[in-house]
Chains A and B, each alone.
Chain A
Amino acid sequence: MSTAIQNISLSGKKKQVSNKEMTFLERMYLVAIVKGLWITIKHFFRKKATIHYPEQVREFSPVYRGRHMLKRDEQGRENCTACGLCALSCPAEAITMKAEERKKGEEHLYREEKYASIYEINMLRCIFCGLCEEACPKDAIYLTLSKELVPAQYDREDFIFGKDKLVMPLEMALKNTQLKNAN
């Protein structure tokens, strides 16, 4: 059996459009208007789609990538060794850093012999792709599950996050260690 190509409808939704004259009742539009009013009044009583933002927060995806964090190890030392692989892998060129050599007496602060004295991420450029996290050989940079978004600011400079905002707080690192030892 062969069907003409014009009549095939793979989706099953094909509808022949006709250009027929409207009847008198249709030209009055009153029926159509009443139908339209019925549709809108149904929406009046429908559940609203709005999420009241500050009070309610939209559910995040389980693989959500939130704000970055520079990790510390169990003894509270910074992991980052300022190798620059994250900056190299960053497609948005959001990361800059400046390396410094660890001095004597700073072993409790930095894990490796070299550390980042300045580590900055431009949050306006960052696309939260997570490539920095994948590139990092020292498990230093992570995209957290933090629900805290980058807040609105008046100046562009305020969106450049330095180490003060990125490095994991020391208490958090010690607490993590405690939890790990307890298990």
Chain B
Amino acid sequence: MLNKKTEKKPQATNQFNQAVAGNSLTRDAWRRLKKNKMAVISIFIVVIYILLAIAAPILPIYPYDEIVLDHQNLPPSFTQNAGTLLLEKRLADLYTQAWRSGSLEVSEAEEEMLWTWIDANETNKVWDYMLEKGEQMSADGSFTFSATDQRRIERLEEKLMSELKVSIKSLWYTDPISNEREKLSSLTTEQLIDLYLDLSGTDIDTLKDQYTREIEQQLLRGIKDQNPELPDAEYQQMLEREIERLSESRFDSLIKSNILTKITNQIVNDANSHLGQMATDESVLFPVKEEISLNDTISAEVEASRINERIYYLGTDYQGRDMLSRIIYGGQVSIAIGFVGTITSVLIGIILGALAGYLGGKVDYIIMRIVDIMYGLPYMLLVIIAMAIFGRNILNLFFALAIISWLTVSRMVRGQIMSLKNQEFIEAARSMGASTWRIIFKHLVPNSLSVIIVFSTLRIPAFIMTESFLSFLGLGVSAPFASWGSLVGDGVGSMALYPWKLFFPALAMTIFLFAMNFLGDGLRDAFDPQSKNQL
């Protein structure tokens, strides 16, 4: 009904055949907004954030949920890759141990300084200092590692060189007779089982036992995730019921994925041993793409890269996940919650507020009393209860935030509409026989839209803050997903040792919230120039 007029407006020309176009209030507002430098910068920042969030899957960043346990808590660095950082860490550790065991001698003053740091719980400084000192002493020959330590360092270096990340791009099955290739996943379960039996040499019964057990485990894990804290007997019952419920085809596909995983694992192992050799003697340049065949029939295209060659610009978290990609993906969730929450709340708010404001009387009374009652309930408590009832996931978070946040919007819209509805142009529309819906959506809502837009812009940061707060409390987004709030929450715990885990997500969030607020202020000034607070 609203966008019926998407067709191009007919032009109006004057006697000199020049087009005469009107200047709508919105266009005036846009012109004023463009003069506001802060607002324009804010628009750019917001657009960049949104683009980053949307483009996250195609950006050249490491997966946000890939756990690399070796890379825990690496500091941010633009130049050193993870391997160097790990080696440094190890060296610092060894130098410190050497100092403690007395094989590395330091002066009296240094000793005192080091102990002050240890007493003040500033071990970071000790490590940094010992690394610098140790390197210096090793360089001028006044200190050498013991043989065992030397061996340790060499082993670590070797490991850092050879450790690979192998990812499988595609799995192929080559028919031995016709020599035709097809995707392994397109084979039937029976064919796969046969192939696997060939490959592994086990007999069918052992395999059957194996995969049945594994599938049961998998199902049990799923059940435990959904209903935590139940007695074991109950889990067993639920599992049996679950298995009974499983359809033939579903079970079949479970077996199929199980077998595929087994084959994949074998290929990864093969690739690791095969390429690992190449990595140590540096005969090839990584990352490398290669075709690996397990036997005559199964082959795979794999891509391998040295995992320790990664550079973490913003460091890693406690599970070795890249903070940069976690912040970008976290932004995706946070911004989405901000926008979706605002849009839903504004839609509900506009409809209910407009009805209450325009119809008045009993309708107004009922809607507004509902709003009053819901206002009376503690906001956070409602969200927490909703999250507890419906379970913790992102959709429920959207839902929980949306059901309570329309209250303010509906009140505001109602007020706007009450002040507009006695304007003469509304009476004029009514005297022309316009229907209630037409009056609300063609006259009242467009005229209060400026206020609504400003309000929603300022509302988005509020939503992001609420979500962050919930995630901080552990009620919002849960791992492996991230949001700015959950990242900050994770970072707070270890902010003395690893400040970058708190600093970068907080910075990303602050910049966005600043931009949103400036944009909101700019919009308000643009829509209502008289409201500008100036001399």
Co-assembled chains A and B: no
